[in-house]
Amino acid sequence: MKVSRLFLGVAAASLVASAAYADTLSDVQAKGFLQCGVSTGVAGFAFTDDAGNWQGFDPAVCQAVAAAIFGDASKTKYTPTTGKTRFEALKSGEIDMLARNTTWTYSRDVDLKLSFTGINYYDGQGFMVPKGLGVSSAKELDGASVCIQTGTTTELNLADFFRTNNMSYEPVPIETNAEARQNYQAGRCDVYTTDASGLAATRATFENPADHVILPEIISKEPLGPLVRHGDDNWADLVRWTLNVLIIAEELGVTQDNVMEMAKGTDNPEINRMLGAEGSYGDMLGLPADWAVHAIKAGGNYGEIFARFIGTETDIGLERGLNELWTKGGLIYAPPFR
């Protein structure tokens, strides 16, 4: 068997030595693409389209970063990561950034030595019940049977919530979202609980989505955002400000369609600074002056990306809610571009 030679061949081909991680931007520019860690599939947030390309709310952040660096969103390569491999992939340098439904927590930030570069989705654990149950608040769920994914923080949150409200429940342990959907639809549990975005996505797959309600109570904080590893603040700044630019663009009404027009100069000095018509803000990041133009051009501003992949127009059908701009009563807020 010549398999050993095969191995040697592959080994030689794949032993790619890269320089130290200190200057991620130069590394990325040298290799010519951005290596982005995504999830292996979360409805609307990361999926493969009919042509086999990664799309979704999370890959859109990567595409914006790649566009900011190269002026070309397609210079992104994706590494599907699971909940168990994502942080190792980032820390070992296999990927340059991670955009994968990852909750910003103290221990991940401090102990795992990762830098969260912002929040692109405020999620939280919610409850879904059939309308026929006649329940309008989670406080009325005493004695209910609850479908719950085992081994997750949602399980702990659920226990806490029922204990603090002095209620009892009967857990129905399940492994995956697909399993939960079947159990819930078969009536084996009265309530399904997981992140609100997941509930909405699950409900969208029902034949009669209107027969089910998502209760108003959100019992946990799950701020999701892109992250990079410790040790390269310039790189963290680049990712952070790419996300910020998308948010500011929505706030100031810069869209995918009008960004080229606006880049020529407007009456609004902040837009001019951001799009490179005024000052030399690109230089500060080591990027061309029109980096933000490309980032916005790639997939549109934050609101456009939201609407395209998970908004009410899509089958996922998520309301903006907390993820509305601060000017409209939500939490999405970016520091000023100056």
Partner 1 sequence: MSEQTVEQKYAPGTHPSLPPPVADRGAIKWVRENLFSSPTNIVLTLLSIYLLYAIIPPLVDWMLINSVFDAGSRNECWEKGSGACWAIVVVRFDQFVYGFYPEEERWRVILAFLLLIAALVPILYDKTPFRKLGLVFSGVYPIIAYFLLWGGLGLAHVESAKFGGFMLTLTIGVTGIVASLPLGILLALGRRSDLLILRVICVCFIEFIRGVPLITLLFVASTLLNYFLPPGTYFDLLLRVLIMVTLFSAAYIAEVVRGGLQAIPKGQTEAAQALGLSYWKNMGLIILPQALKISIPGIVNTFIGLYKDTTLVVIIGLLDPIGLSQAVLADSKWQGLSTEIYVFIALFFFVSCFAMSRYSIYLEKKLETGHKR
Q: Does 181 bind partner 1 (CB under 8 A)?
A: yes
Would you tell me how many other CB atoms lie within 10 Å of the CB of residue 83? Answer: 12
Please state the φ and ψ torsions of residue 206, each to the nearest 5 degrees. Answer: -75, 155
Antiparallel, parallel or unpaired: β 222-224 and 121-123? antiparallel
Contact 130, 209 (CB under 8 A): no
Contact 238, 68 (CB under 8 A): yes
Contact letters for partner 1, residues 310-329 (x by CB under 8 A): x---xxx-------------
Alpha carbon 293 to chain centroid, angstroms: 21
Cβ proximity to partner 1: between 221 and 320 the closer is 320
Contact letters for partner 1, residues 278-317 (x by CB under 8 A): -------------------------------xx---xxx-
Contact 75, 34 (CB under 8 A): yes
Q: Does 52 bind partner 1 (CB under 8 A)?
A: yes
Cβ proximity to partner 1: between 199 and 292 the closer is 199
Q: Give the shortest CB-141-to-partner 1 separation in angstroms.
A: 25
Which residues touch 135 (CB under 8 Å, ≥6 apart)? Answer: 129, 141, 213, 215
Q: Does 200 bind partner 1 (CB under 8 A)?
A: no
Q: Does 81 bind partner 1 (CB under 8 A)?
A: yes
Q: Does 201 bind partner 1 (CB under 8 A)?
A: yes
Contact 322, 331 (CB under 8 A): yes
Q: Does 16 bind partner 1 (CB under 8 A)?
A: yes
Helix axes 233-252, 302-309, angle to 10 degrees: 80
Q: Give the shortest CB-177-to-partner 1 separation in angstroms.
A: 10
Q: Which residues pair with 54 in a beta bridge?
A: 48
Cβ proximity to partner 1: between 104 and 206 the closer is 206
DSSP 333: -
- How many residues touch partner 1 under the rule CB under 8 A: the total is 59
Q: Does 15 bind partner 1 (CB under 8 A)?
A: yes
Cβ proximity to partner 1: between 279 and 317 the closer is 317
Q: Does 43 bind partner 1 (CB under 8 A)?
A: yes
Q: Which residue in the block uniquely carries the two structure tokens 């191995």?
A: 7
Q: Does 29 bind partner 1 (CB under 8 A)?
A: no
Q: Give the shortest CB-216-to-partner 1 separation in angstroms.
A: 24
Contact 229, 239 (CB under 8 A): no
Q: Give the shortest CB-229-to-partner 1 separation in angstroms.
A: 13
Q: Does 5 bind partner 1 (CB under 8 A)?
A: yes
Q: Give the shortest CB-125-to-partner 1 separation in angstroms.
A: 20
Q: Does 30 bind partner 1 (CB under 8 A)?
A: no
Cβ proximity to partner 1: between 42 and 69 the closer is 42
DSSP 172: E
Q: Which residue in the block uniquely carries the two structure tokens 């309600």?
A: 213
Q: Which of 264, 285, 258 is nearest to 276 (CA)?
A: 264
Q: Give the shortest CB-306-to-partner 1 separation in angstroms.
A: 13
Nearest-angstrom CA–CA distance, 270 and 78: 33
Cβ proximity to partner 1: between 201 and 246 the closer is 201
Q: Which residue in the block uniquely carries the two structure tokens 């009892």?
A: 168
Nearest-angstrom CA–CA distance, 121 and 104: 11
Q: Could you say which residues in the range 83-122 bind partner 1, by CB under 8 A?
A: 84-85, 88-89, 91-94
Q: Give the shortest CB-102-to-partner 1 separation in angstroms.
A: 14
Nearest-angstrom CA–CA distance, 235 and 226: 12
Residues that bind partner 1 (CB under 8 A): 1-7, 9-11, 13-20, 40-50, 52, 54-56, 77-82, 84-85, 88-89, 91-94, 178, 181, 201, 204-207, 309-310, 314-316
